[in-house]
Amino acid sequence: DQQVKQNSPSLSVQEGRISILNCDYTNSMFDYFLWYKKYPAEGPTFLISISSIKDKNEDGRFTVFLNKSAKHLSLHIVPSQPGDSAVYFCAASASNQGGKLIFGQGTELSVKP
């Protein structure tokens, strides 16, 4: 039972355009959501997070949107840069379940010059 799903295994975007990565979840107990970026042979790097009491959080070029009724979140990167090319993981946790992260399968983003 996959509680966090990233249905697009890959995404290709032109430099300067917007990248939109999507994530769906099933567990209504999740109250904290994070996006991580991962390069090959490295550990995941934290990008941005959002609490379930908010519907939007912005940090520079990165914005995360949360739609609790649809159990959906998305990461917007604008403008996209070639250095953004990596695998992006969506993760969710529930504060009453120990805070362990449940990850999606990842989306590989390729930003072309």
Number of residues that bind other proteins (CB under 8 A): 26
Counting DSSP H helices and E strands in the chain, the numbers are: 0, 11
Q: Which tokens in the block code for residue 58?
A: 């912005």
> Distance from first CA to last CA of the chain, Å, rounded?
38
Q: Which stretch binds other proteins (CB under 8 A): 15-23, 55-63, 65-73, 104-112?
A: 104-112
Residue placing its CB nearer to other proteins in the complex, 70 or 100: 100
Output the DSSP codes for 76-99. EESS--GGG-EEEEEEEE-GGGTT
Q: Evaluate the omega torsion of the peptide bond into residue 113 and state whether it is cis, within 30 degrees of 0.
A: no
Of residues 37-96, those binding other proteins (CB under 8 A): 41-46, 49, 51, 89, 91, 93, 95-96
Q: Which x/- pattern over 5-34 shows residues binding other proteins (rule: CB under 8 A)?
A: --------------------------xx-x
Binding positions for other proteins, rule: CB under 8 A: 31-32, 34, 36, 41-46, 49, 51, 89, 91, 93, 95-96, 98-106
